[in-house]
Amino acid sequence: MSNRRCPRCQSTYEAPARFCVKDGSLLVESAPQADGPGTRAAGDDGRADDARDAPAASPSDRLSDRPTALASLTGQVLDQRYQIDRKLGEGGMSYVYRATEIGTGKAVAVKILIPKLSRDPSSVERLRREATIATRLNHPNVCPILRLGETPDRLIYLVMPYLEGEPLSEHESRRGPFPLAEGIPLLVQVCQGLGHAHELQIIHRDLKPENVMLVPDPEAPTGFRAVVMDFGLAKERRAGPDVVKLTATGIVLGTPEFMSPEQIRGKPLDGRSDVYALAILAFELFTGQLPFVGKSAQETMIARLRGGPLRLREVRADLPAKLEAVISKALSVNAGDRYSSMAELGQAFEAATSPGVLGRLFRR
């Protein structure tokens, strides 16, 4: 019986498969969909309500010997601070819950590291680094970390703002490719959020539609605001060799289908790696498919190392030639041939759909 699934295309696989052969996504444990909108998390096993009738014992009292208890914390109080409301999802490292901060009544999202990893110094260090990095972020298009907590028995968790909305991946699946009028403002907002991170010498390294939340915003031109999520793979450009050791836990750092050539090769990264990933996201946003084709994650990686992505207008001929040129430049194999910053890429996206000087004159 299949027990793992692709979070993007929902294809199912038998263990020990780890990647989807169709799109290269990291597989998660097979599960029903989450029961409502909120902070994005990879997967949901549908057991968020299992503990509704359980005794109101502290979760930390029963986690060290029962890792599966993390899947059913609804109704419990975490660390005497957070009333757990319902589970939002789970990934390879953690469970994510919607909770209420007892002191303020504020809704938050709590990301709890699974006990197995809590006992691993490298995993704990990675989570601490995630919190340290993300607490420095302060931008409307980035989701920050509010607090890093640890219970008396060393259960470690992160607290983040709870965002009503849906991941870009779900929006795409439901509505299909974006029209230019909606897609360009979204991409510019993502550029602005990542540009803020890059100014702090932080690169994301795992940009993909699942990591962009669309939050309703009546003041935004399209009615929603793009928020870049999950800086768990974020890396400071000044980071030393100790950061590399954090991969020893077996956690895949990055999503194969969105990795830049230099990331695939394990080379040093800078903000231009995020530029590349955003170009892949933009291609998919407007066409519904990826710019590199292959029968497996490995084949698509090789295609990226060799270059030669599909041209945007090969897939969708009604899109502007200028936009095709922008995405092609951002997808250059050599980082030096791409846009040098998110600000430059954002300006290029805007210019790709502007009428230009002559167009403005004719419209007068």
Alpha-carbon 79 to chain mean position:
27
How many CB atoms lie under 10 A from the CB of residue 42?
Answer: 21
Catalytic (active site) residue 53? no
Of 341, 345, 286, the closest CA to residue 310 belongs to 286
Number of H helices, E strands in the chain: 12, 14
- Residues 258/280, Cβ–Cβ less than 8 Å: yes
Helices (H), 13-145: 115-118, 121-134
Local structure of residue 146 (DSSP, 8 states): -
Alpha-carbon gap, residue 231 to 207, rounded angstroms: 9
Q: With contact defined as beta carbons under 8 Å apart, do 100 and 79 qualify?
A: no
Count Cβ atoms below 10 Å from residue 2 Cβ, excluding itself: 11
Beta partners for residue 26, in sequence order: 19
Element (H, E) at 185: helix 180-199
The answer for residues whose C-beta is within 8 angstroms of residue 224's C-beta and 6 or more apart is 165, 214, 215, 216, 217
Please give the span between the terminal C-alpha atoms of the chain, in angstroms, as a whole number: 65
Q: Which of 44, 85, 206, 274 is catalytic?
A: 206
**Which are the catalytic amino acids?**
206
